[in-house]
Amino acid sequence: MSKGKIIGGAIGAVAAILAGIYAHEGGYVNHPNDPGGPTRYGVTEQVARAAGYGGDMRHFPLHCTGSAETCADEIYIGRYMKQPGYWPLIVIEPAVAEELIDTAVNMGAPRPSKWFQQSINELCGTRLTVDGKVGPKTRSAYERCRSAKGPQVCVAMLDRLDARQLAEYDRLVRVNPSLKVFHRGWTRQRIGNVDRAKCAA
């Protein structure tokens, strides 16, 4: 798949994914039980600082317009779409890409990346190394499986990713009970949030 095709085919899907994330991340929050600290549009202060933003997180910009060189759009596309290897998946399987990106925003990319590889092995009979690196081998393995088995692979993949994510939420609350205040919101907003009908597109 050419770089031009990936970019051209991804634009609309990227906009839809970002809109969905922003809808439930909301604006500025600074919950005392949240280890992420001051956060705006789902971007923590630590992540914003690493990207070069030096201002007050209450004013962290959503879009890179005017004089803003660092914004939520830029961070999401770079850190949570391109760096983990999800960008080509936006064209290959938008629904699965949306699930992976949304989960990466919530808990970092390594966990959903490993869950994706584990689930490919389970659903497709492959023997991918579960290293959390979603590169050409991982994407090709999924694409071949999807071509051979059809949309039900996409639905099953979303179900497995959701199940693993829910199990991780449960584990986090067990080891750190102060996070229990977030469990209901995490479950409501991020489990089953990707419409399975998108798999048939």
Query: Residues 112-157: pLDDT tens digits?
Result: 999 999 999 999 999 999 999 999 999 999 999 999 999 999 999 9
Give mean pLDDT, residues 28-56: 89
The pLDDT assigned to 6 comes to: 42
CA separation for the pair 52, 67 (Å, rounded): 13
User: What integer pLDDT is reported at residue 10 of this predicted model?
Assistant: 66
Element (DSSP H or E) covering residue 39: strand 39-40
* Whole-number CA gyration radius for the chain: 17
Q: CA angle 187-192-197, nearest 5°?
A: 165
Per residue in 73-88, pLDDT tens? 999 999 999 999 999 9
| Whether 162 contacts 152, CB under 8 Å | no
Give residue 5's pLDDT. 44
Strand partners, 39: 29, 44
H-run or E-run covering 43: strand 43-44
Q: How much is the mean pLDDT over the chain?
A: 90
Tell me how far CA of residue 193 lies from CA of 21, 87, 108, 156, in angstroms.
10, 20, 18, 14
Percent pLDDT > 70 in the chain is 95
Q: Max Cα separation, the chain?
A: 50
Q: Report CA dihedral (160, 165, 166, 172) to the nearest 10 degrees.
A: 150
- Residue 90 predicted with pLDDT over 80: yes
Under CATH, which architecture does the 3-200 domain have? Up-down Bundle (1.20)
The one-letter amino acid at 17: I
